[in-house]
Amino acid sequence: MCSIKFTPQGVAERSHEHVPSQRAARVPEHASLLLALVDRARTAAIPGGHAQGNVPRMGALLGCGPDTSGPRRLQADFGAAAVAAAVASLAGGFVAWVLVRYRFPLQRLFDAIVDLPLALPTAVAGLVYASLYAPHGWLGRFLEPWGITGAYSRLGIVLVLVFLGLPLVVRTIQPVVGQLERELDEAAACLGASHQQVFWRVHLPQLVPALMTGFTLAFSRGIGEYGSIIFVSGNKPFETEIAPVLIVARLEEFAYGEAAAIATVLLAASLLLLLAIHTLQQRSSHAA
């Protein structure tokens, strides 16, 4: 970009030095933070890197080094996501079956309510669950005498993740249930099969790929959830710690290497889950 300078003699001189524009000068803070994070991850992964003093390596996070507490820090996140995905798969399969196979009043309203967790801000969902299941909340006051802690525990994390993963499972299974041929039910009934035998031997094999895809989607949503879980987890070390909160905490402590290690584990898990979803979809399309 050219700039014009005026000398004392009044002669205008044109300078071709580069003057950064106002838009280019406003470099986002997150961009520099991301660059620093990538640099720290690179140096932490190199055995002879200059950042091995205060930055844990990837092996420590995976439990391959002297410090074996790394896997325990991710256990709450991955364990709760797996349990919540399993519960959401069972509940979502039931909801999808009822919405497709049966007709009842206000069916369209219930069908629309299924998508509420997708439209609702995750922070709102976390606040609602925290207020409901807190020791003095609407539901928590009845659970507290029984020794059930619905908030600031792993149960609270699982409940929130089930709420968020349920629509993903329902919308994945619902089209498959709609494509099931009712003539197969009649043919199996003519052969003497009961309703339970028709479901387990005829319908369930066709629903397995969709169920596994819904489970994978709910699990991948759960391991990266932050906005809602932060209100109900309590962030207790080795109990209710979740990976996104660990990443934010390490960034605030300027431990970029450890934050990058945790992010790399989540990234690898997400890529594997995407590969699994793609494989399941291909198998279901070939089977159809």
Per-residue pLDDT tens for 21-75?
443 334 344 445 444 544 554 444 444 444 444 444 444 454 444 444 556 667 7
**Does 105 map to a domain?**
yes
Q: Please give the tally of structural domains in the chain.
A: 1
For residue 5, tell me if it sits in a domain.
Answer: no
pLDDT for res 11: 42
% of the chain surpassing 70 pLDDT: 72
pLDDT at 85 over 80: yes
Q: Which of 193-207, 230-244, 254-268 has the lowest mean pLDDT?
A: 230-244
Residues of the domain holding 160: 75-287
242 is a domain residue: yes
pLDDT of residue 59: 47
Report yes or no on 202 lying in a domain: yes
Task: Please report the pLDDT score of residue 71 as a whole number.
Answer: 63
Let me know if residue 50 belongs to a domain. no
pLDDT of amino acid 89? 94
59 domain-assigned: no
Residue 133 lies in a domain: yes
Q: pLDDT tens-digit profile of 105-145?
A: 999 999 999 999 888 888 888 888 888 888 778 888 888 78
Q: Which CATH number characterizes residue 206's domain?
A: 1.10.3720.10
DSSP assignment string, the chain = --EEEE-TTS-EEEE------HHHH---HHHHHHHHHHHHHHHHHSTT-TTTTTS--HHHHTT-SS---HHHHHHHHHHHHHHHHHHHHHHHHHHHHHHHH---TTHHHHHHHTTHHHHS-HHHHHHHHHHHHSTTSTTHHHHGGGT---SSSHHHHHHHHHHHHHHHHHHHHHHHHHTS-HHHHHHHHHTT--HHHHIIIIIHHHHHHHHHHHHHHHHHHHHT--TTGGGTSTT-TTTT--HHHHHHHHHHTT-HHHHHHHHHHHHHHHHHHHHHHHHHHHHHHHH-
pLDDT at 171: 94
pLDDT tens digits along 220-259: 888 888 888 888 877 777 677 788 888 888 888 888 888 8
Residue 51 lies in a domain: no
